[in-house]
Amino acid sequence: MSNSTVPRSGTEASTPEKDGKTPVVPPGGATGSGRGRGQGKLSLRLRFRRDRVLLLMTLPAVLLVLLFNYVPILGNVVAFQEYDPYISDNGIVSILNSPWVGLENFQRIFDDSAFWQAVENTLVLFFLQLVVFFPVTILLALLINSVVRPRVRAVAQAVLYLPHFFSWVLVIAVFQQMFGGAGMLSQLLRQHGYDGLDIMTDPNTFPFLITSQSVWKDAGWGIIVFLAALASVPQDLYEAAAMDGANRWRRIWHVTLPALRPVIALLLVLRVGDALTVGFEQILLQRDAVGPGAAEVLDTFVWWNGVRNQDFGYAAAAGLVKGVVSLGLVLVANKVAHLMGEQGVYRK
């Protein structure tokens, strides 16, 4: 007897198609009861029941984000007011009773030369840190990844990570002892008959000083993501490239860097989103040493006008402009990442 006449199992003796019968639709419809619209998709209720433990675990974090990140956004309404916090001890009452001024605060911002000077200083520092910081972190990651001995690699990583945990007060104090008017470099130059240098108070070198401090403090910490990406690269690719005659530089160019490309694209998108945030505490601590003309950035501009000058509506308007521009930069950078074939912050 041929295989076509013998069923493979007791449940496959006949099919609706072969018998010419119309398939029976379940009472719940084509998708069945408790299922989603598409076959194999669970309904929202079933997914909630399945993942309820995970959802409960994430609930505290979600509440913290809502409380400290999203609820304060409502306070941006003071950008359209002449806000006076002393009307009442209750902040909400003060907001409700403060007079509305419409777009007057934004008009003042765009007419203020100090605001545009802060924007210029912010963009200069951003481009310097972008050009210097990313290559340094990638090079450090490649260098650490090339270390063969695990103990030596662990010690090198610990040394590179350590400055990240220093406060900015300590970092600036270290740079002051090295590059200040009475620092080691100035003393060494005077001992050899040259004039001393005071880099810490020179407005012309201030952007490079800020960049070098950021690199020294955070470059080692920034290699963690790159090291994680390098650890996921299969060793077979390196072995195949070596068998094809590729030297170390060729393997880095054709194997390592393509593996890092998605991570680089993601971090670049996030960094562009922080283009207008270049280090509030770091710059505020050194602002008086070089003057606001060289050290004023958007964050210190908002703090100085809002906290020191008590012009809360004006400072809120400047902060709101900064937030809107930062959001636009993230969306543009993410679109560019999609055009380059990378995922970016979110998928298409």
**Which long-range contacts (C-beta less than 8 Å, at least 24 apart) are formed by 156-160?**
157/220, 157/223, 157/227, 159/220, 160/219, 160/220, 160/221, 160/223
| 120 and 264 co-located in one domain | yes
| 271 and 290 co-located in one domain | yes
Query: Looking at the domain assignment, is residue 19 inside a domain?
Result: no
| 93 and 156 co-located in one domain | no
341: left (phi over 0), alpha (psi -120 to 50) or beta: left
| Number of domains observed in the structure of the chain | 2
Which range marks the domain in which residue 289 is found? 104-339
Q: What is the reported pLDDT for 35? A: 44
**Angle in degrees, CA 304, 310, 312, rounded to 5:** 90
Beta bridge partners of 42: 35
Signed CA dihedral, 33, 39, 43, 49: sign only:
positive
| 249 and 110 co-located in one domain | yes
| 131 and 175 co-located in one domain | yes
Q: What is the reported pLDDT for 122? A: 92
Mean per-residue pLDDT pooled into runs of 10, the chain (348 residues): 45 45 48 47 86 92 93 90 87 88 92 92 90 88 84 88 92 91 87 84 90 90 86 84 84 85 83 81 90 89 87 91 88 80 69
Last residue of a domain, which of 62, 97, 132?
97
| 181 and 114 co-located in one domain | yes
**Angle in degrees, CA 155, 157, 159, rounded to 5:** 70
> The domain that contains 190 carries what CATH number?
1.10.3720.10
Query: Looking at the domain assignment, is residue 34 inside a domain?
Result: no
Q: Give whole-number Cα distances, 156 to 6, 116, 148, 212, 346, in Å.
A: 70, 42, 12, 20, 34
| 127 and 150 co-located in one domain | yes
Q: Which two structure tokens, joined as six digits, stand for 297?
A: 């950035």
Q: In angstroms, rounded to a whole number, what is the distance separating the alpha carbons of residues 27 and 32? A: 7
| 91 and 115 co-located in one domain | no
Q: What is the reported pLDDT for 332? A: 85
pTM (global) more than 0.85: no
* Among 157, 146, 134, residue whose Cα is nearest residue 249: 146
Last residue of a domain, which of 97, 124, 156?
97
Q: What is the reported pLDDT for 40? A: 62
Q: Is 100:81 a contact under the CB 8 Å cutoff?
A: yes
Signed CA dihedral, 181, 186, 190, 194: sign only:
negative
Query: Looking at the domain assignment, is residue 347 inside a domain?
Result: no
Q: In angstroms, rounded to a whole number, what is the distance separating the alpha carbons of residues 301 and 293? A: 11
| 328 and 187 co-located in one domain | yes
Query: Looking at the domain assignment, is residue 231 inside a domain?
Result: yes
Q: What is the reported pLDDT for 261? A: 85
| 81 and 214 co-located in one domain | no
Query: Looking at the domain assignment, is residue 215 inside a domain?
Result: yes
- CB hemisphere CA count around 102 (13 angstroms): 3
Q: What is the reported pLDDT for 12? A: 44
Q: Is 155:147 a contact under the CB 8 Å cutoff?
A: no
Query: Looking at the domain assignment, is residue 41 inside a domain?
Result: no
| 204 and 320 co-located in one domain | yes
| 80 and 182 co-located in one domain | no
